[in-house]
Amino acid sequence: MTPTRHKHDHTDHKTPSLPAVRPRDAPSDFHVLAKPSGPICNLDCEYCFFLSKEALYSGDRFRMSEEVLDAYLRQLVESQTGPEVEIAWQGGEPTLMGVEFFRHALDVAAGHRRDGQILRHTIQTNGTLLTEEWCELFRDHAFLVGISVDGPRELHDAFRVDKHADPTFDRVMRGVELLRRNDVDFNVLCTVNAANQDRPLDVYRFFRDELDVRHVQLIPIVERDNDTGFQEGDTVTSRSVDPARWGDFLIAIFDEWVRRDVGTMFVSMFDAALASWLGLPAGMCIFAETCGDAVALEHNGDLHACDHFVEPRYLLGNITDTHMLELLASPRQREFGTAKRDTLPRYCRECAVRFACNGECPKNRFTRTPDGEFGLNYLCAGYKTFFEHVDGPMRLMADLLRQGHHADEVMRILTKAPRNGPCPCGSGRKAKLCHAT
Ligand code: SF4
Ligand code: SF4
């Protein structure tokens, strides 16, 4: 299927209404990442997988129309069964749409809100176009802003450059400063790639000590080496993170975090792992058993199976033709979601840390298991080492929480253990050689 290009300039076009009966397979809750400016961005980060998506809509203005905006917000708000609705904007670079677009979108969303519903707004940005006006809007409407930073200057500038290949660090820091000065709630999204993979503590401490952020999301760069920009082929570019180093990167940060930052720094990977050790949903789609409840909306109303699968094969339809709830409930999308579990190779099915990993994201499953079965995650070696490494501390934290204590007590238990005794994490090593300080 090729992406549809909807113009809809005739004013009497009616976008679809909520189905009278909720489709049987519709998720009760789902997540939409909307790209009001499509893949268009003012920067040209070398590893970015969105820019190649421009080719899918060649000749397009890449600007969400009033019709799509209204259909999107109405369908999203009326489909959600819970009291909270998250409205998430991404790109490309969504701030290219201008402040007025977002002011208007807030009004449209508020107009569709039902009594008792709480609308929560999030936006992911590279931060370079932020102004006082943007920050006022974010603060006044309690936006959670995700800002992309890959670490200190030299690591950030390795790949995050503009269209002239000029570095962007100073412009991003200016954006961070504006957010901070205006009391905007923000967190950092950090890609882990070939340039920063060997500097985990420099990256983590920069966020904690220099940027003073409390929430960090680490995103491994696995960039397939092909000309299509799609999830095809089994080789990766030289910018991609190395699997074993990805594991080492997570472990180095985890070991610092578990000794001194539990309860004050929040690293999404670690929160997700703790949830898994507690037997709860991980809260990150990549670690869930199945997926399919996080779709991507293009500027023209095209809905794709996932933000990482904005490809003709994964186009579900257009929300100006079919209600998004029906697209989410469609057999194609349900199969997309369950395939994550049903295509796991035996190596994963028998893996001791499968409960936490679940084979991670299907987009990264293009290598072979030691016995030759296709479909193993490229990052497997890293995840295996990481999840095995955190098992002891995770068990301790999970037990603390089950007993009504706080997880941060793990820091005292680990660091104050008798130095010559066994480490309480269960590693079998002496405490002084493990977690004791
Ligand atoms: S394909 Fe990957 S990123 Fe997309 S929903 Fe599934 S696990 Fe999440
Ligand atoms: S660690 Fe490797 S083998 Fe285990 S579930 Fe994850 S990808 Fe599969």
Give per-residue pLDDT as tens, 155-171: 999 999 899 899 999 99
On whether the pTM is more than 0.95, the answer is no
Active site residue 307: yes
What is the per-residue pLDDT for 44? 85
Q: Average of pLDDT values for 248-265?
A: 97
Residue 406 predicted with pLDDT over 70: yes
Q: Average of pLDDT values for 334-343?
A: 98
Q: Average of pLDDT values for 362-384?
A: 97
Could you tell me the pLDDT band of residue 6, with boundaries at 50, 70 and 90? very low
Least confident of 53-57, 246-250, 355-359: 53-57
Terminal CA-to-CA distance of the chain, rounded, Å?
58
What is the per-residue pLDDT for 225? 83
Give the whole-number percent of the chain exceeding pLDDT 90: 84
What is the per-residue pLDDT for 229? 75
Q: How far is CA 70 from the centre of its chain?
A: 25
Q: Tell me the per-residue pLDDT of 74-89, one tens digit each, with 9 for 90 and over.
A: 999 999 999 999 999 9
Residue nearest to ligand 1 atom 6, measured at CA? 291
Separation of CA 386 and ligand 2 centre (Å): 11
Ligand in nearest proximity to the CA of 328: 1
What is the per-residue pLDDT for 10? 41
Strand-strand pairing, 215-220 and 118-125: unpaired
Measured from the CB, is residue 308 less than 6 Å from ligand 1? yes
* Mean pLDDT of the chain, nearest integer: 93
* Alpha-carbon gap, residue 209 to 403, rounded angstroms: 32
Dig out the tokens for 281 from the structure.
């949903």
Query: Per the residue annotation, which of 307, 342, 371, 408 is the catalytic one?
Result: 307
Could you tell me the pLDDT band of residue 50, with boundaries at 50, 70 and 90? low
Q: Tell me the per-residue pLDDT of 262-281, one tens digit each, with 9 for 90 and over.
A: 999 999 999 999 999 999 99
Residue nearest to ligand 2 atom 8, measured at CA? 348
- Name residues whose C-beta falls within 8 Å of residue 315's C-beta, 6 or more positions apart in sequence: 1, 2, 3, 4, 302, 303, 304
- Name residues whose C-beta falls within 8 Å of residue 83's C-beta, 6 or more positions apart in sequence: 116, 117, 118
What is the per-residue pLDDT for 46? 84
Q: Tell me the per-residue pLDDT of 191-216, one tens digit each, with 9 for 90 and over.
A: 999 999 999 999 999 999 999 999 99
Least confident of 30-44, 240-254, 365-379: 30-44
